[in-house]
A and B are shown apart, each in its own frame.
Chain A
Amino acid sequence: MPDALHPDNLPATAFYLLAVVAIVASILVVTRRNPVAQAMNLILTLLSLAGIFALLQAHFVAAIQILVYAGAILVVFIFVIMLLNLSDEEIGPPRPSIAKGLAVLLVAAMIWGAAVRCADDVLAIPAATLDPGSYGTLASVGLLIYRDYLLAFELTSLFILIGIVGAVLLASRKVSGGGDK
């Protein structure tokens, strides 16, 4: 299709390519049995999402997506998978069930409801007034985090503090009176 490669259509072509990759890879994350294959597909999903962010001019978010999610978090995932080193017997054979089939149907219905029937709703919303000069830049993201969503940002720090307390409490080896005999 020559039209797809026309300079005006390139962003749309890139979007559809990335979207298909993201959806297919995310389905594979759920359906593959091997944890390493799942993690690799998750990386693919996250990378294509980063591409979509970049297409939306959110370059900073795209970079963070690659650094934090595809980089740091997935590395931790793979460390855990390697440490557990599950054999095929431990993972077990696939078990299809009525509940799973029902869940797939429900999710399909939901995606249809959200994506197909609601496409008009999304288009009906006037695009937010964006300043093309600053949109997606580090400065505008910084202002959003540290000014507009300041309380939410502070809440995440409280959230992380509690998470650390939990990790120390539940995972520490030596416990004085921690319910261990």
Chain B
Amino acid sequence: MPISPQDFWCSSPILILCGFGTLLLIVDARCGKGPRDLLPIAGLSLFGLLAAGAAVLLLWGEFGSGGVAPVECFTPMGGMGAAIRCDGYVLVFDAVFLLAAGLTCLISLGYLERMDLRFGEFFALILFATAGMMLMASAMDLVVALLSLEVMSIALYILCGLARTDLRSNESALKYFIIGAFSSAVLVYGIALVYGATGSTALPDIARAASRIDFARGDLLLVGSALIVTALCFKIAAVPFHGWAPDAYEGAPTPVTAFMSTGVKAAAFAMFARIALSLFASYTIPATEVLWLIAMLTMIGGNLAAVVQTNVKRMLAYSSIAHAGYLLVGLVAAVDRRQTDGSVTVGTPDIAFYLIAYTLMTMGAFAVVVWFGRRRREYLLIEDFAGIGFRHPFIAIAFSIFLLSLAGIPPTAGFMAKFGLFRSAVATGHTDLAVIGVLTSVISVYYYLRLVVLMYMRETETGITPTYSPATTLAIVVSGYGVLHLGLFPGSLWRLAEIGAQTLAW
């Protein structure tokens, strides 16, 4: 089938983001680099994100209601599968990426100016990375999946090293780059072996071929799948493939860290779910057992390591590893159900909902960290937050809400999200994982609440006097509202996630 206007319409959010990213590069080259050029450039990038959001909404109106079948885009004429696909699941994730990118742009407005970082390329790279994430969620072919993963990753390696004179930023970029390149190589090797075993790189063909391969003789598929899972575990920073994450997260400029721990995680999980549900479409490989082990290790390892951290960014990095563990619980449930009766509607809506909630609360927490920064100075030690409950009561309340939500305490979004994941785990017979999840959440309460206690229980003489940034405040308000709204009225969004998962089937 030749390329039709429909293909362009269905991929319009991606095209809009790429277009605006390129436009930003041109505008940046034409404009001056002074502080007063920051607002127009940031405004243009936010406008681009809004335009992409509008396209996502219009597409949701068309496909999300469930009336219209998902559309396979860029179906090549050679009889192979589609390159990308537009369905409700993709659109839900597109919204998550746009939310993460929009909040990142908001919190970086004041930050870039204070830290004297270059802003033209920053916003362009954020837009390109978001386009890469959307492609990752919609990729139906392993070649396209790999390339979109690289589009996102390359943009992020650069963003990590944005603060060129900061050694930590250099270290972060280099570590992330080397580990990223390494895991991509592992992914390519895995793709090659899966291609050898199934004769195709298209996910539907792989799912069909995999179900025909005898388990006892499926060694090639086994090794290939193992390599692909390993590479994706690097990307989501699951234990034991998490070693790079704390250093990369700590050194990167804080808005970039926020973007990495939310957007990248969401994109990697969107891709992971689609690939895992294709590779493990039937019981040819003991996949749930392996994923079970990784989920357990990640929940325990991430939470235990977070307890001893004294730097807020590192603590949030380990917390993000722990949250990858909870998300893996949902993936175990999804793969388990897929192997039992072929359906894809268990676990996947919980993963999507969790990622929306997680994006809001993590973005909020990082926004607070950015809010307390000053010119060329950031306050990242846990001790620095002592007593701010008395001096900045509103920000302290918002921070407490985000931390309680991260710990999974009702009535916040984090509770509802965790509840959904553990419910799916129990429904598919993985009660043990749900129990581990609840127990490790109890551990996490300790390190999240320690910050809250410091904020309210200890008064200090010298406190931080932050530089006020209205955009960062707006980001905090938006995320705070989102976290509370999802905690109190999760129904409507839950419904959206379920509709999205129903269109996931192929």
Contacts and interface: CB of A to CB of B under 8 A. Distances in A.
Given A178-B117, A179-B116, A156 B147 contact: yes
B77 A155 contact: no
A166 B158 contact: yes
A125 B166 CA distance: 53
Interface stretch (A39-47, A63-71, A72-80, A116-124): A116-124
B197 A121 contact: yes
Contacts of A143: 78
B154 A162 contact: yes
A144 interface: yes
Contacts of B199: 125-126, 128
B131 to A, nearest CB: 8
B221 to A, nearest CB: 8
B220 A121 contact: yes
A130 interface: no
Contacts of A150: 3, 74, 76, 83
A179 B116 CA distance: 5
Contacts of A156: 147
A169 B158 contact: yes
Interface string B109-141: 000000111100100110010010001000001
A170 B164 contact: yes
Given A114-B223, A128-B199, A169 B118 contact: yes
Given A149-B76, A151-B83, A155-B135, A165 B125 contact: yes
A151 to B, nearest CB: 4
Interface string A90-130: 00000000000000000000100110011011101110100
Contact of B144 (A120, A152, A170): A152
B144 A151 contact: yes
Contact of B193 (A114, A149, A178): A114
Contacts of B166: 179
Given A121-B219, A165-B25, A175-B118, A180 B164 contact: yes
B80 interface: yes
Report the contact-size class of chain A (Cβ under 8 Å from the partner): 35 or more
A24 B402 CA distance: 55
B483 interface: no
Interface in A146-181: 147-152, 155-156, 158-159, 161-163, 165-166, 168-170, 175-181
Given A121-B197, A162-B154, A179-B166, A169 B121 contact: yes
Decide if the interface of chain B is mainly helix, strand, loop or mixed: helix
Contacts of A126: 199
Contacts, number: 125
A110 B189 CA distance: 11
Nearest to A144: B78
B158 A165 contact: yes
B196 interface: yes
B418 to A, nearest CB: 35
A159 B157 CA distance: 13
B445 interface: no
Contact of B155 (A162, A175, A177): A162
Contact of A118 (B115, B173, B220): B220
A162 B25 CA distance: 10
Interface in B1-52: 3, 18, 22, 25, 33
B255 to A, nearest CB: 14
B196 A147 contact: no
B117 A179 contact: yes
B346 to A, nearest CB: 31
8 contacts: A113-B223, A118-B197, A118-B220, A121-B220, A155-B147, A165-B121, A178-B116, A179-B115
Given A144-B78, A150-B76, A151-B84, 10 more contacts: A113-B222, A121-B197, A121-B219, A125-B199, A126-B199, A148-B78, A151-B74, A165-B158, A169-B121, A170-B164
Interface of A: 110, 113-114, 117-118, 120-122, 124-126, 128, 143-144, 147-152, 155-156, 158-159, 161-163, 165-166, 168-170, 175-181
5 shortest A-B CB distances, which residue pairs? A118-B220, A148-B76, A166-B158, A151-B83, A121-B220
